[in-house]
Amino acid sequence: MNNTPDSLQRFLINRAHVRGVLVKLQQSYLTIISQQHYPETIAHLLGETLVTSALLTSTIKFQGTLIMQLQNQGPLELLVAHCNQQLHIRGVAKWREDEEDFSDALEGGTLAITIAPDEGERYQGIVQLETNELAKAVETYFDQSEQLSTLIVLAADQHAAAGLLLQKLPNHLFDTADADNWADLETQLKQLYTHELLNLDNETILNRLFPDEDVIVYDPEPVVFRCTCTEERSANAIRTLEQADIDELLGIYKEITVTCEFCHHSYRFDADKVIAIKQTAN
């Protein structure tokens, strides 16, 4: 079983009628958290959210983007992670810079999970964050919104982020034996330590957790950081500005700069470009 540094790997536990996914992020995670000087706890939460966005994307069939957004009135103002069907991820967090304690950064906030297909209407589910554990919030989301029993383990440190998801197969009629199998899997999953999830290869993790199970393992799929910002999308931001604001900015800076929050790439528009952009908006 070969692992790439940044990968998503699906597996199936036959006897228990359970599907699973393992996600490991290294280079993409480090690239994203290097965009800003994140406090350690915020960086770890962002890593866990990026992992979760990939885990959840693997459970649905659609062409589009899954968006996770965590928000509250505490020290963590906003945390966003995107993942599409090509497993391109990006994310960003905003926090109150006068705060130093982020131990309860999630508690009391909300988690919104949005499925944004390339064609068709968006779907959104919202969960109240009653604890500081993202995994528990996502399990609650599946229980309330999808009626799918789901278990998730997440981990992140300064070097990597990882996660494992187990989920009962939808549209399967479960009997007493299935319920017992699920309880056994839950017990086994609790025995997985954070450092093991982050540092052991997938084959070792699966053999350690499910030594007596018939586990079908699929080839790993690469996960990469890729931003979707473009000059045209930045131009759309300019189209929303009032003319007075445009005149003020051009009077001071001679150009308008739009910087992407996710990758910090800057798009610059001089006066001639701005005039052309506003004309297309009319």
**Does residue 156 share a domain with residue 264?**
no
* Stated pTM of the model: 0.89
**Does residue 244 share a domain with residue 170?**
no
- How many of the other CB atoms lie within 10 Å of CB of 85? 16
Out of 6-10, 26-30, 130-134, 276-280, which region has the weakest mean confidence (pLDDT)? 276-280
What mean pLDDT is reported for the chain? 89
In the predicted structure, residue 2 carries a pLDDT above the cut 50: no
**Does residue 213 share a domain with residue 252?**
no
Is 74 inside a domain boundary?
A: yes
Q: For residues 88 and 69, give the distance between their C-alpha atoms in angstroms, rounded to a whole number.
A: 17
**Does residue 94 share a domain with residue 20?**
yes
pLDDT at 1: 41
Q: Is 36:96 a contact under the CB 8 Å cutoff? A: no
pLDDT at 23: 98
pLDDT at 99: 74
Which pLDDT band, with edges at 50, 70 and 90, does 245 fall under? confident
Q: pLDDT for 82-97, tens place per residue?
A: 999 999 999 999 998 8
**Does residue 199 share a domain with residue 158?**
yes
Tokens describing residue 158:
């300064």
pLDDT at 147: 79
pLDDT at 4: 59
Phi and psi at 95, nearest 5°, equal -145, 165
Last residue of a domain, which of 225, 246, 266?
225
Of the chain, the end-to-end C-alpha distance in Å amounts to 56
What CATH number has the domain bearing residue 257?
3.90.1280.10
Q: How many domains, the chain?
A: 2
Residue 104, exposed/middle/buried by CB under 10 A (0-12, 13-18, 19+)? middle
Nearest of 30, 27, 57, 226 to residue 138 by alpha carbon = 57
Q: Is 101:75 a contact under the CB 8 Å cutoff? A: yes
Q: Which residue range(s) make up the domain with 235?
A: 231-281
In the predicted structure, residue 60 carries a pLDDT above the cut 90: no
Q: pLDDT for 156-183, tens place per residue?
A: 999 999 999 999 887 665 555 667 788 8
pLDDT at 19: 93
**Does residue 209 share a domain with residue 261?**
no
